[in-house]
Chains A and B, each alone.
Chain A
Amino acid sequence: MSVMRLLPALAVLALPVAAAAADPIKIGIIAENSAISGIAIPNGAQIAADEINAKGGIDGRKIELVAYDDHNSAADAVRAIQRLATQDKVNAVIASYTSEVALALEPWAGRLKMPTITPGAASDDISKRIHADYDHLKYFFHGYLASSFLASATCDAAKDLLVDSKYHMKSAVIMSEDAAWTTPLDAGFIECLPKVGLKVLDHIRMSPDTTDFTPIYNGIEGKKPDVIITGISHVGVQPTVQWANQQVPIPQFGISSQATSSTFWKDTNGATEGIVLQLVAVDSVPSTPKTVPFAQAYIKKYGITPAYSGYGAYDEVYYIADAIHRAGSTDPDKMVDALEKTDWQGTVGQIRFFGKDNPSTHAMEYGKDAVSGLFVQWQDGKQVPIWPASVAGSNTLKFPGFVKLTN
């Protein structure tokens, strides 16, 4: 090899080092801006970026966000990630709260070699596919609890709050929307509810287009369960308002993503009173020392509390930056290696990902010393923590008058 041919190669080697000191770290955001759970993603990420930049950035590099609206459409999201990768040349992407969109992005993250994390999609298929085709899909990370973990959390909380309590509940009906994320959720419910002492009387899956829930509630009432276990995200306001207006005498307990935001009270004219739901974090509970300061900053900036995906997006900006710092590079493969070693205290708990050999590759760890989440109940316009006991304090379940309990 001649010196002449070596020279340009050396120049190429030298350039990025010199440039890296000044170049910002660019992170792309893909989310549905007109949905409560969607807009929380760019909002949460922006707060993290502002905080990091106010402290001088990571290794002297500022964080720059490039955000696109995907209108909750898989095709728009695919176009957005292409644009982010080839035009905006971002180093990582934070994308979507919808499992279908995340699943469509997964192979593109692989094709474009773009480290991508979803802060809000829940389907177990996300991590199962990574396990099945690790070499191609390893660039994708599941930065939110998988549906099967959400189901376990719901069963654990139901056991303490509904079965082993003064309510002594014995039976449940599962009501969930027909979507990718609820398939593993419902399977989890059907498996774990009987184990904690709740007999599953019926399992209703409704179209996310449903607007009239009257027949569903009447059907459920006919089965006479003690509780309705929910799995809803794309619907939220309508089933909640109709539950209250029709005075359905059965409490609701489970996953209701829209109810995680404080705007839900106004959206439902207060009909959400008494709804019990799972959250990864809430503004009033210091799950970690970072939770409350972030929630306060968010409320100060946007006037509402972050929806569940906002916490995830905030943490993700931090641990992406941390991974780039540890990798010492924005090379995608090195970033993936670094992200796999993530052990970051975020707003939702201690964040770690399952490794290559776990069947849920790159899924966020669930557990007491990882991310465990909590349950709250809407009471007088506020989300009051009621589970686990360590955060509930003296709070207890309080249901509206029309809910008839069998205690």
Chain B
Amino acid sequence: MRGILGSRLFWGVLGLLLIAILLPLGVSGYILGVLIPAYYFAVFAMSWDLLFGFAGEVNFGPTFLVGLGAYGAGILDAETGWPIAVCVVFGTAMAIIGGVLLALPALRLSGPYFGLITLVAVLLLQQMVTVFAHWTGGEIGLTVPDVLSIDDNTNYYFALGFMAISGLILFGLSRSSAGLILQACGQDPVEAQALGFNVAKHKLAAFCVSAFFSGLAGALLVFYYGTASPGTVIDLAVGVQVIIAAVLGGRRTILGAILGAVFLVCAGEVLRPLGQLSTFVVSAFALVVILFVPAGFLGTLLHRRSEA
């Protein structure tokens, strides 16, 4: 059964990927413009799912890692004008340092206490952006001089490729023996320890991997928009969106986060003519899904199939 299920998932993913690759042939640049940030967003959500779904850490601050990557890269570019690749590496490194900083309390604390630390980390980062407005551009924005490309197709394939590779690695990790150990550590750390697994080492690794992808995606997003602002990459509301995307798509599925993220961004865009009410409608829909289909899109799909 498991093999068939795996291969069904495999064919499904392949089919969707193929559609995504062929999409630029058939749709306008505008739709690509909507999907590009959605793909980066999907990487945020997959990284979060690795931490929550597998390591069992309630992380309210995905945007702490994203923001460090984004601002690290953006500020370096704005100050020095160095090549984008160098700035992205720097931003990613900042995010990994942030990930380690978050991991240390996570090894000692649990549940709401750790959740709060991550929440505070985001608030502190946001405060820093305001206080050091001289470098960060303050409340609503740092404008970076360079962008990846102004061509929609280039940006699209870059984002798609990045998401596909990140998804492959994260999914592979989650299904590897390391992923299973991680899951065991998350669900019952004491037993995992008793079985001889180094819980601390595995959790630390999970934080670093999550931070690596969050930060990298954040840095790349800055060079797509040409701007970084707390409202785009740090604000708690963005973090909430990331969590909702992962939960909508299905926890512990990694790839479900892609569906959730693409759905959220597209729904926001389709509902844009509703103006202020669009956020209300999207939140209400997400709430209904959580209440009635708590396993999420992919979770439900896989569950049904395994029952059949």
Contact = CB atoms under 8 A, between A and B. Distances in A.
A–B in direct contact per CB < 8 Å: yes
A179 B227 contact: no
A69 interface: yes
B276 interface: yes
B175 interface: no
Contacts of B141: 74, 100-101, 103-104, 180
A75 B38 CA distance: 12
Contact of A107 (B143, B272, B273): B143
Contact of A33 (B130, B150, B275): B275
The listed residue with most B CB atoms (<10 A of its CB), out of A72, A86, A209, A234, is A86
A34 interface: yes
A26 B141 CA distance: 29
A399 interface: no
A77 to B, nearest CB: 10
Given A71-B279, A178-B130, A100 B226 contact: no
Contacts, number: 96
Interface string B229-256: 1011000000000000000000000000
Given A74-B232, A107-B143, A207-B130, A87 B30 contact: yes
A107 B279 contact: no
A208 interface: yes
A5 B150 CA distance: 31
Contacts of A68: 272-273, 275
A78 B139 contact: no
B231 A79 contact: no
The listed residue with most B CB atoms (<10 A of its CB), out of A69, A75, A103, A111, is A75
Contacts of B273: 68
A80 interface: yes
A104 B231 CA distance: 13
Interface in B268-298: 269, 272-273, 275-276, 278-279
Interface in B117-168: 130, 133, 137-141, 143, 147, 150, 152
Taking residues whose C-beta sits less than 8 angstroms from the other chain, chain B's interface range is 20 to 34
Nearest to B131: A207
Interface string B26-60: 00111001100100000000000000000000000
Contact of B231 (A33, A74, A82): A74
Given A73-B232, A108-B226, A33 B272 contact: no
A100 B140 contact: yes
B143 A86 contact: no
A98 interface: yes
A60 to B, nearest CB: 28
B133 A69 contact: no
Interface string A20-52: 000000000000011000000000000000000
Contacts of A178: 130, 133, 138-139
Interface string A54-89: 000000000000011101111100111011011100
B226 A79 contact: no
A82 B139 contact: no
B137 A100 contact: yes
Contacts of A104: 140-141, 143, 225-227, 229
16 contacts: A34-B276, A69-B275, A69-B276, A69-B278, A72-B140, A73-B232, A74-B231, A78-B225, A79-B34, A79-B269, A87-B30, A98-B140, A101-B141, A104-B140, A107-B143, A178-B130
9 smallest CB-CB distances across A and B, nearest first, come from A100-B140, A87-B30, A86-B30, A75-B232, A69-B275, A100-B141, A82-B33, A104-B227, A73-B231
Interface of A: 33-34, 67-69, 71-75, 78-80, 82-83, 85-87, 98, 100-101, 103-104, 107-108, 111, 178-180, 207-209, 234
